């Protein structure tokens, strides 16, 4: 049975759009998913299901959250193989001077706008040889993501 990672966006942030992880696990068990596990209060989870369509899974989870909790929560679903490829294909892991604790991967539901990519490349806070595809953007942020003028926070 295929394994998946689901990432919910915009939940459990400063008390807004709150979903307790035990409720999320119950919701996904109710959808027929197996071996559902969540990570802290992030909305990230792993599960197994015989359904082999990540886009359909995203839609199904999102619609069920809307019906159950009354708010929209975008959901990105990736296969376990796709997640393994993210690690295997990370170009920064081959560079000795890169601090692995400063590596970030952002999973995208749609392509990044070109103007944002240009701004990101010009930033002194983000290494200029980041990679970007439809599925993800990978970068290293030496000064950290919390900097107020970081292009990742704008």
**Residues 95 and 149 reside in one and the same domain:** yes
What's the pLDDT tens digit per position in 5-14? 999 988 998 8
What's the pLDDT tens digit per position in 54-113? 999 999 999 999 999 999 999 999 999 988 988 888 877 887 887 877 777 777 777 667
Quote the number of domains for the chain: 2
User: What's the pTM value of the predicted model, to 2 decimals?
Assistant: 0.74
Which stretches of the chain are assigned E, i.e. beta strand? 3-8, 34-39, 44-48, 75-79, 103-107, 131-132, 136-140
Domain final position from 20, 48, 80:
80
DSSP letter at 92 equals G
**Residues 113 and 68 reside in one and the same domain:** no
**Residues 75 and 116 reside in one and the same domain:** no
- Beta-strand relationship, 75-79 and 136-140: unpaired
**Residues 66 and 31 reside in one and the same domain:** yes
| Cβ pair 61, 75 in contact under 8 A | yes
Domain final position from 23, 46, 80:
80
Measured at the CA of 81, the angle between CA 79 and CA 87, to 5 degrees, comes to 110
Average pLDDT, the chain: 80
**Residues 118 and 96 reside in one and the same domain:** yes
**Radius of gyration of the CA atoms of the chain, in A:** 17
**Residues 117 and 138 reside in one and the same domain:** yes
Q: Which domain holds residue 116?
A: 89-153
Domain final position from 36, 57, 80:
80
**Residues 70 and 8 reside in one and the same domain:** yes
**Residues 9 and 71 reside in one and the same domain:** yes
CATH number of the domain to which 72 belongs: 3.30.70.1280
**Residues 12 and 76 reside in one and the same domain:** yes
Res. 144: pLDDT tops 80: no
**Residues 37 and 68 reside in one and the same domain:** yes
């Amino acid at each position: 049975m295929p394994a998946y990672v689901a990432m919910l966006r915009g939940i459990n942030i400063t008390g807004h759009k709150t979903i307790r992880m035990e409720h999320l696990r119950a919701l996904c068990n109710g959808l027929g998913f197996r071996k559902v596990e969540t990570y802290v209060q992030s909305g990230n989870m792993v599960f197994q299901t015989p359904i082999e369509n990540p886009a359909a899974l995203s839609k199904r989870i999102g619609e069920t959250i809307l019906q159950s909790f009354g708010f929209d929560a975008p959901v990105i679903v990736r296969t376990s193989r796709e997640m393994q490829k993210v690690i295997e294909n990370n170009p920064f892991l081959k560079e000795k001077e890169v601090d692995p604790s400063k590596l970030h991967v952002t999973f995208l539901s749609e392509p990044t706008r070109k103007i944002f990519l240009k701004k990101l490349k010009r930033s002194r806070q983000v290494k200029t040889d980041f990679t970007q595809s439809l599925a993800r953007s990978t970068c290293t942020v030496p000064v950290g993501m919390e900097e107020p003028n970081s292009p990742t926070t704008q």
